[in-house]
Structure 1
Amino acid sequence: MAVNEGAPLLDIRDLRVSFPTDDGVVHAVNGMDLTLRRGETVGIVGESGSGKTVTSQALMGLLKDTSATVTGRILLDGQDLVPLTEAQMRPYRGKRIAMIFQDPLSAMHPFYPVGVQIAEAYRVHHDVSKKAAAAVAVDMLGRVGIPDPKRRYAAYPHEFSGGMRQRAMIAMALVCEPELLIADEPTTALDVTVQAQILDLLNELQAETGTSVILVTHDLGVVAEVCHRVVVMYGGECVEQATVADLFGDPRHPYTQGLLASMPSLAGTSGRLTPIPGFPPSLLALPEGCLFADRCPKAHLVPDGACADRRPVPAGPEGHPSRCHLNAQEPAQEVAR
């Protein structure tokens, strides 16, 4: 799918999300910036707890009427979604922004047939009869590759296999032809064969509908296959952004380098992976300096202990910023990878 180089569909600026707890305030997302153009697929990657899913929940408006505090700007085609109330957000959710949840079995209601739930999602945003909505739902089930869609329309979620449930969830998300689709770990629980089928399906439907996609995942292999650009999150921050080619060919942040080094490779000879030592920072008490400093093998190369004392700002080539003190130094001081 060709990417539209015009005005961005989605423009996120300084997004911050925090949650009050008995132990203190959890700072789940800390200054997220992201731009998404029409027809583009952007992957958000990082370890568990890095803020990927919370970011997607904020985009969907699922944190409204909760204890969460959300600040910053989420501009969808120029409209800021952050200050909207829950009632004001409903026309957007499902119609203009839709989400494929990680576990379709828990995301679907167990007491209603799958087709009825898809038809209901369509009727929320379209003034049509139940019969007309049912016809749309059957057609959508067929488009996502579910065999005998008329019969499957009346089946319940537990009667579907894992791959078919994921296809049905994709049908529900796309039935209103949203401009933006958020896919949160859509293939995690699937075997590799079904995973490939689901990814191919998403690519085909995106080419057909022109929908922009945010893919939330921990799987860099999936990102390399389907995404145009990548956002790497760590400790609630975006630590690196780049095109897929630039990120895999020239990773600039030590955390990104660690993620890539920990990937299994068919070309590897030792059979051993290279893990990132240590643990992510506590989101209850973020350090003053670089969030990755305690785990970074290159922190000692930055003079004056800046990694521990000062939070780095994004720096680097245009289109490939990374939040690392090393990348803010002169090219002659850049460390070989």
Structure 2
Amino acid sequence: MTSQPLLRIRDLHVAFPTDDGLVHAVNGMDLSLARGETVGLVGESGSGKTVTSQALMSLLKETRAQVGGEILLDGTDLNTLSEQRMRALRGKKIAMIFQDPLSAMHPFHAVGDQIAEAYRVHNKVSKRAALAVAVDMLGRVGIPDPKRRARAYPHEFSGGMRQRAMIAMALVCEPELLIADEPTTALDVTVQAQILDLLGELQQETGTSIVMVTHDLGVVAEVCHHVAVMYGGQCVERGSVRELFHDPRHPYTQGLLASMPTLGDDGERLRPIPGFPPSLTALPAGCLFADRCPQTHLVPDDLCRTERPVFLASTGVDHPSRCHQENLATAEEAAR
């Protein structure tokens, strides 16, 4: 492994022009990912997870989105590349498992042909050779009788099989970075476990780094090395899985963990986070979580509502929290 991370996101901003004004979907996102590791992007719907993943794949250019900041993949800023150069990278160096494989796969072409076509885009081989690779890949992801199934169409696969086929298509060229956008959504718990095990096994084989986009903290605990918690388009806390689950520092992270159902609750009601996320067309001047935070009274001078908190280097590179209370406590400790 090298010391330089495979992926580094610096101050990523994404805004969409609408009739009601700019929708600020991502607001200063920072993230890094080492080779061979998995980072989870977690947060409520609308927190910016999927838009961040689409920005990584450079899929927003046709949407009139305004994208700023840096997305460094192996030192190359993807935001500066032309569409032609990005097409050369997609599939070969960076690939994506989309949330809905049925809509992501073409309904008029056999599954094996689609995987073979993805392989031929980056490899100068015959159709016969590419189809042989596709059949082999379908077998590697656990599709029974892969040679016969390669001739089937997406609608002839079950949900779990379609997800496996989508994983096969994403990994057929062995990309260095894989983005998995809710890869287990709408799957039952047994199939979900099989898909997660499969991703782990393939990661061990290929050394692929994974960005796991999910709202399921159970999935994060099972497969991720690190976590980035997103709220209002920002990363509000990041750290290792162990650090985040055992010592959550941001009030939003604490609220997410408190809202999780656990075994032995004996019918105890779930504890949702009260209130609503901020409007992305009119972001507040202060902390984006202030209106829902139960701890703003602990911060003097109404700082939570007047000034946007930042990550302090003194809070530790490995587990920072974008919170005024955390920053003030760190400053007081440093002054002693």
For Structure 1 versus Structure 2, the TM-score category normalised by the shorter chain is: over 0.9
Counterpart of 2:58 in structure 1 is 61
Going from structure 1 to structure 2, the CA distance change for 1:165 and 1:91 (only over 3 Å counts) comes to same
Q: Work out whether 1:320 is the aligned partner of 2:316.
A: no
103-112 vs 4-13, which deviates more? 4-13
Instruction: Give the AA of the match of 2:211.
Output: I
Match of 2:108, SS state, is coil
CA distance in structure 2 between the aligned counterparts of 1:332 and 1:182, rounded to whole angstroms: 37
Q: Work out whether 1:18 is the aligned partner of 2:15.
A: yes
Q: Any idea what the Cα deviations from partners look like across 1:43-98, whole Å, max 9, x if unmatched? A: 00000000000000000011123300111111110111101121121111111000
Counterpart of 1:153 in structure 2 is 150
Match of 1:330, SS state, is helix
- Which aligned runs of 4 or more in structure 1 are off by greater than 4 angstroms? 331-334
Counterpart of 1:119 (choices 112, 116, 119) is: 116
Runs of 5+ consecutive residues of structure 1 not aligned to the other structure: none
Aligned ranges 1:239-254 → 2 under 5 Å:
239-254=236-251
CA distance in structure 2 between the aligned counterparts of 1:332 and 1:116, rounded to whole angstroms: 59
Instruction: Give the AA of the match of 1:92.
Output: L
Counterpart of 2:232 in structure 1 is 235
State the Cα distance separating 1:199 from its structure 2 match: 0.2
User: Does the Cα contact within 8 Å between 1:64 and 1:85 map onto a contact in 2?
Assistant: no
State the Cα distance separating 1:330 from its structure 2 match: 2.8
Counterpart of 1:330 in structure 2 is 329
User: Does the Cα contact within 8 Å between 1:145 and 1:167 map onto a contact in 2?
Assistant: yes
Match of 1:91, SS state, is helix
Counterpart of 1:71 in structure 2 is 68
Instruction: Give the AA of the match of 1:322.
Output: S
Match of 1:42, SS state, is strand
Counterpart of 1:302 (choices 276, 299, 302) is: 299
TM-score (norm 1): 0.96
How many residues are aligned here? 331
RMSD of aligned Cα (Å): 1.2
CA distance in structure 1 between the aligned counterparts of 2:42 and 2:94, rounded to whole angstroms: 20
TM-score (norm 2): 0.97
CA distance in structure 1 between the aligned counterparts of 2:184 and 2:62, rounded to whole angstroms: 30
250-259 vs 77-86, which deviates more? 77-86
Counterpart of 2:283 in structure 1 is 286
CA distance in structure 2 between the aligned counterparts of 1:151 and 1:263, rounded to whole angstroms: 42
Q: Is the helix fraction higher in 1 or 2?
A: 2
Going from structure 1 to structure 2, the CA distance change for 1:270 and 1:298 (only over 3 Å counts) comes to farther
Counterpart of 2:202 in structure 1 is 205
Runs of 5+ consecutive residues of structure 2 not aligned to the other structure: none
State the Cα distance separating 1:5 from its structure 2 match: 5.7
Percent identity of the aligned residues? 76
State the Cα distance separating 1:99 from its structure 2 match: 0.3
Counterpart of 2:220 (choices 212, 220, 223) is: 223
User: Does the Cα contact within 8 Å between 1:185 and 1:215 map onto a contact in 2?
Assistant: yes
CA distance in structure 1 between the aligned counterparts of 2:293 and 2:23, rounded to whole angstroms: 23
Counterpart of 1:37 (choices 9, 34, 38) is: 34
Instruction: Give the AA of the match of 2:149.
Output: R
Q: Any idea what the Cα deviations from partners look like across 1:205-225, whole Å, max 9, x if unmatched? A: 000000000000000000000
288-297 vs 308-317, which deviates more? 308-317
Q: Work out whether 1:144 is the aligned partner of 2:141.
A: yes
CA distance in structure 2 between the aligned counterparts of 1:270 and 1:327, rounded to whole angstroms: 34
Match of 1:181, SS state, is strand
Q: Any idea what the Cα deviations from partners look like across 1:158-198, whole Å, max 9, x if unmatched? A: 00000000000000000000000000000011000000000
Instruction: Give the AA of the match of 1:37.
Output: A
Counterpart of 2:125 in structure 1 is 128
Going from structure 1 to structure 2, the CA distance change for 1:275 and 1:5 (only over 3 Å counts) comes to farther
Counterpart of 2:101 (choices 99, 104, 107) is: 104
User: Does the Cα contact within 8 Å between 1:179 and 1:212 map onto a contact in 2?
Assistant: yes
Counterpart of 2:24 in structure 1 is 27
CA distance in structure 1 between the aligned counterparts of 2:114 and 2:40, rounded to whole angstroms: 28
CA distance in structure 1 between the aligned counterparts of 2:75 and 2:250, rounded to whole angstroms: 31
State the Cα distance separating 1:6 from its structure 2 match: 1.9
User: Does the Cα contact within 8 Å between 1:65 and 1:86 map onto a contact in 2?
Assistant: no
Instruction: Give the AA of the match of 2:320.
Output: P
CA distance in structure 2 between the aligned counterparts of 1:5 and 1:275, rounded to whole angstroms: 42
